[in-house]
Structure 1
Amino acid sequence: MPSSSAPDTFRIALAQANPTVGDVAGNLALARRRRAQAAGQGADLILFTELFLAGYPPEDLVLKPAFQDACREACEALAQDTADGGPDVLVGLPWREGDRLTNAVAHLAGGRVMTVRHKVELPNYGVFDEKRIFHAGALPGPVTVRGVRVGAPICEDIWSDEVVECLAETGAEILLSPNGSPYWRGKHDARVNIVAARVVESGLPLVFLNQVGGQDELVFDGGSFGLNADRSLAFQMPSFSAQLAVVDWTRTSDGWTCVGGAKATVDEDERADYRACVLGLRDYVGKNGFPGVVLGLSGGVDSALCAAMAVDALGAGKVHGVMLPYRYTSDESLADAKACAAALGLRYDVLPIAKAVEGIEASLAGLFTGVGRDVTEENIQARARGAILMSISNKFGSMVVTTGNKSEMSVGYATLYGDMNGGFNPIKDLYKTEVFRLCALRNRWKPDDALGPDGEVIPANILTKQPTAELREGQKDADSLPPYEELDPILIGLVEDEGRVTDLVARGHDGATVRRIERLLHLAEYKRRQAAPGVKVTPRNFGRDRRYPIVNRFLDGG
C-alpha cells in the first residue's frame, strides 16, 4: 500500500525522439532540450528511449572504452542538471562496472545518478545480437520517483514474463518501458499484444516508449503508447514522428490510471511501409552529412518510386535525376522520365552513354574477337551508367540512390558495379508488386511530413507499361523471369517463409519454375553481399535477417 505521503498524481513526459548513434554530445543536447520542454509543462519525470545517449543500436561501437566513457560523462552532466528541481530523468546508456558492460537505464534526480537498472533479456535473433556485446543484468526491482515506485523493463524485458513479474512482486506501481524497437510490417500490433499480455499478468499499467528515426537498415517508427491496468488504451503517440508527449496519471483505489490521453492514428500496412522508406532515406542522408542525392531516372517504376521517396524525404532541391540513354532506350522511357521529373520538381539532366559504352567495347574488342555478344555487353551499359552516377557523386558530394527492388535482388537481375552502385536503397526490401502498389498509393496520398508535391507524381504510363531493363532491342523483364505476379509469391515462400519447394508446388506453382527460382536465389548471394544497405520493411530482409553462405551447394529442389 502507498504511504500517506505518496502523491495522487504523476505527470510523465515521454521523449519519442530521434537520437543518432555515436553523437553523444548531440544526444545529450537533445535530452536537455526535451527535459526543458517537459519542465515547462510541469512534468515530474521524463522518460527517454533505450540507450538514448549512445544511440541505438550502437553495435560494436559500444565496446570502445572511449565511447563508454563519453556516454557515462554525458549521463553525469545530465544528472547535474536535475539539481534545478525540474523533472527526474530515466535515460538509457551503456553502463560498465568492472568487466561487465550492460544495457542500462539510469534514474537521475537531485543533481546525481540515483540508481541504475540493467536489461535482463538480451535479444539475439534477427537484427539483434546483444549477447555478443552486453552482459545480462540481474532481475530488477522498481526505482522510486517522487514517491512512485516505477518499474523500468528495457525493451526485450517485456517480451517474456519474468522481468515484469519480478517488478510486480517487488512493489512496482507502474511500468515504464524504454525501447529501441525497429519497424517491420505488422510490428505495432505485435507490440500491443505483448504489452497487453504483461498488463494482464502483472495487473499494472504499462507505458511503451519507442524511439523514432533511421539507423542504417533499421527504421524506428515511434508509435509509443500506454495501456491502463484494465488494458484500455491510455494514450497513443503518432508513428514516424518525433514528439514530446506529457501524460497525466491519477492514483485510484485500483492503482494508477491515465484518463484523457491523446490518441493519435498510427499508420499501418502500405502507408507505414512508404513512411518507413522515406524516413530511412532521410536519416541516412542527413545523419551521414550528404548535401543531397543523385539517381538514375530511367522512366521505369523502380527509379520513379525512389525519386518520389527522395523528394518526400529531402525536398526537390536536394534531388538530382539523371536519364542515361543508349540506343535501346525508347522514346516512351525518355518521355516518362522527363514527365516524372517535372511532376516531382527535381533537377533533371539527360547524359547519353554511347561514347562510354562504345569506348569500353573498343578496349575489349581484341580480347573478345570471335566471341558472340551476350549479357556481357548488356552489363557494360549498366556499368557505364553506374560509373557516371558515381562520378557525379564524387564531384558534387551527393549520394547515389540505388533503385533495385527485392524481386530483382533475389534472383540476381541486377548488375554488380552497375545499377547496384550507390550508397543506400530505400526500396531494397520491397518486392516488385509492392513497388507498383506503393506508386499507386503515393499518387493518391502523401504523408503529412512529406516534402514533395501533392497529387500524381508518378505518371500513369510508368505503372501500366511492361517492365524492361532496355539493355537490348525489344527486351522485357518477362523474357528472363516469370511475371512478377507469379515470381513474387514464390520468392515470399522461399525467402520470407523458408518454405520447401514441395510446399510451393503444392500451392499450385510450377515445379520447374520454383526450382529455377530457388537456384537463381542461391546464385545471387554473392551479389547481395555487396549490395548497398536499404530500409528493412519485412521481417526477413536481405542482410541482418537472412545470413546465407555464399559458397553453398545445397538446393532443396535438387
Structure 2
Amino acid sequence: MNDHEFPPYGLFRVAAVSPQVAVGDPRQNVAHMLDALQPLESADLVVLPELALTGYTCGDLFAQEALLAAAEEQLLELTGQTADSKQILVVGLPLRVGTSLMNVAAVLHRGQVIAAIPKQFLPTYNEFYEGRWFRAGDETDPPSVSIGRQDVPFGSDILIRCGTAVVGVEICEDLWTPLPPSSFQAVAGANILLNLSASNEIVGKATWRHDLVVSQSGRCIAGYVYASSGPSESTTDLVFGGHCLIAENGQLLGQSRRVGDGELPWQGATHVMADIDLQRLQHDRRVIGSFDDGRRLLSRPFRFIDTNALAVKRRRPETAKSNAHAERPPLRPVVAQPFVPADPQHRDARCAEIFEIQTAALAKRVSRLPESLPLLIGVSGGLDSTLALLVAVKACDQYGWNRQRIHGITMPGFGTTETTESNADELMTALGITSERIDIRPLCLQAFRSLEHTPLNLAIDQHTTVESLQQQLLQTPADAEDLVFENVQARIRTFLLMSRGFVLGTGDLSEQALGWSTYNGDHMSMYNVNTSIPKTLVRFLVRYAADHYFEGRDGQLLHEIADTPISPELLPPAADGTIRQETEDKVGPYELHDFFLYNVIRNGFTPEKIRFLARHARFSQPYSEQQIDRTLNTFYRRFFANQFKRSCVPDGPKVGSVSLSPRGDWRMPSDADRGPWKE
C-alpha cells in the first residue's frame, strides 16, 4: 500500500491492551500477550504497557542476568509469533545497552524489531524508584543496539512511519513532565503518540491521568494511545489499574475498565480500540499556522523508519495476514448531529452558553445605538425568527431595557398560513414586545404589475385584486415554482423593516451554506444573532428556552413552533391551508446538510469520505445511499453557487468552531469551480 491507500479514509486503527502479567516470567507473559492480541486483529497498531515482558514490579530482579536474557529471548519469540501480521506492535522491556540497563519500548513489525526507544524521564520519588535500576535515554545513546543477531535502530529521536501515520513513543513518566517528549515528536511530524505506562491507582489519579492524555492529544493535534499495567502486577506496595485510553485532538475516543471504576472482579486482559482520523488531524495542523512554528525548538533532527520501505526490502510475500482494511466500519463515534451534543445535560449546558454568547453580542451592539431607535424583527412564527426574538428579549431583560423597544412585525404574504401567523401573534403577546401586522400582498401585487411579471404564470392586470390573486394561487399545481414571485415578497419585507429601525437578522448558518435566502432580502440586516447557529441546533435552542425560561402555555407555544415544518412560506399554501413549501422537500434534510457542512468546513474531508461517514452515522431516521448522494450533491452545488451571498453578510457572533463569516473564518472566491468536488 502507498500513502494514499493506507489507511483507508485516513482511519488508522489503534489499540491499547493491558494483559495479565506473571511478574518475572517473560515466557508466560508472551503467552498472555498472544491471547490478549487475538481480539485486536483488525488493529493497525497495538501498544502494550511499560516493561510488559517482565512486569514493572520486578524491583532488584532487574539486576539479574537470567531475567534480562529471558526478556530479550522472549522479545524475539513474540516477534516471530506475530510475523504474519501487518500490525505494528509496541511492547516494553528492560534492555541492556552497553554497560547500562534501560527501560525501553520495542517496536515490532512483520517479524522484526524495527526500533527500540528508551524512556527519557525516570521517576525516583514517592513510590517510584526507577533510578535505582535504569539509566534515562539522552543524546549520548548509541544509534543502534544488538538484539539477537539483529542491529536495531535505538534512541529517543526515532519516529515510525506507516503510510500517513507517523508514530512517536514515550514511556509513562515522560508524559507527566513539563516538556513531554511527545510534544517534540508531534512538532517533528508524529500524529500518533504512544505511551507505555505503569501507572498505579490512588484516589483521584485516574482523573488526572485522563486529563493528561486528553489534553496532550489536543495540544499536539494528534492521536494519543495509552496502555498501563494491570492488577496482576505485584501488589506488595501498589495496585495498578490496567487503565487504557485513546484520545484524539482533545477528545476521548475510548477507555478500558480499570481497578477503581466498580467493575471488579478482574479477569485476564483489558483493552480499548478505536480509529484515529489522520485526515482530520492533518487538516487541523495545516490550518493552524502556529503549529509548525515549534520546529525551531527541536534541538536535533528525528530519524524516520518507514515500515513500507522495510517491507519492500524484506520482500515478504503478500500472503501475510491482512487486517481487512477495505470499507471496514469506522471504530469511532460518527456523530450524526455534530452541532448538537447527544447527552441531554451537555446539550443543555451548550444551549445555555450559546444564549449567553448571543445575548452579550447583541447587547454590545445595541449599547452603541440611540436609545430611541427601535429594534425591528420580522416575526414569522418559524424557528429562526423565534430564536432571534428570544435573544433580543433576553438582552433587554439582562441589561434593563424595556421590552417594548423590540418591535415585532408580522408580514403575511401569499404563502403565510394561519398557524404560523397565529403562533407569531401569540408569541409576541406572551413576550410583551411591541407588535404590528403589515399585509405585504398589496405592495407585492403592485411590484408584479410594475415588473410586468405573471406570478406562477397567472395573468394579472389593473383589475386583479389581492384576494382574487390569492384564490387563483391556491389552484396552482403543487410543483409550481417562481423565483421572482418569492424574491419580491422577501425584498418587500426587508424594505419595510429597514425603513423603520435597527433590523435584527434571523437567517441561520445552514441557510448561509445553502444560499437559502433572497439576496438583499432576508439575506440582509443590521445585525444577525443567528449567523453561526446551524438549523439542527436552532430547534434545540428554542426547545431549551421553552423548558428553562417559560412555563405553561408560553412554553407549549415554543414547542409547537419548534415542531413546525421549516418553510419560507413564499409559495401559496395547500388547499387545506397547511404549508405547501417545505424547505427540506426542496433541498434535502437539514440533518444531512449540517452533517455535510461540519465535515466540509471543520474537517476539510473529501466527498468520498463524507459519504462513507454518512453511511455509518446514526441519524434520527434512516437515509438511503441514493438520498445521501443526492443531498450531498445538492449541498456542494448550492454551497459553491452562493458564496456571493456569504461575501457580504451582516455582523454577528461566532458561537462554535464552524462559521462562514467572510471577515473571520471563511474566505472563498464567489466564482470558484467545484470540479474536484464533483469527481
TM-score by length of 2: 0.40
* Structure with the greater alpha carbon radius of gyration: 2
TM-score by length of 1: 0.49
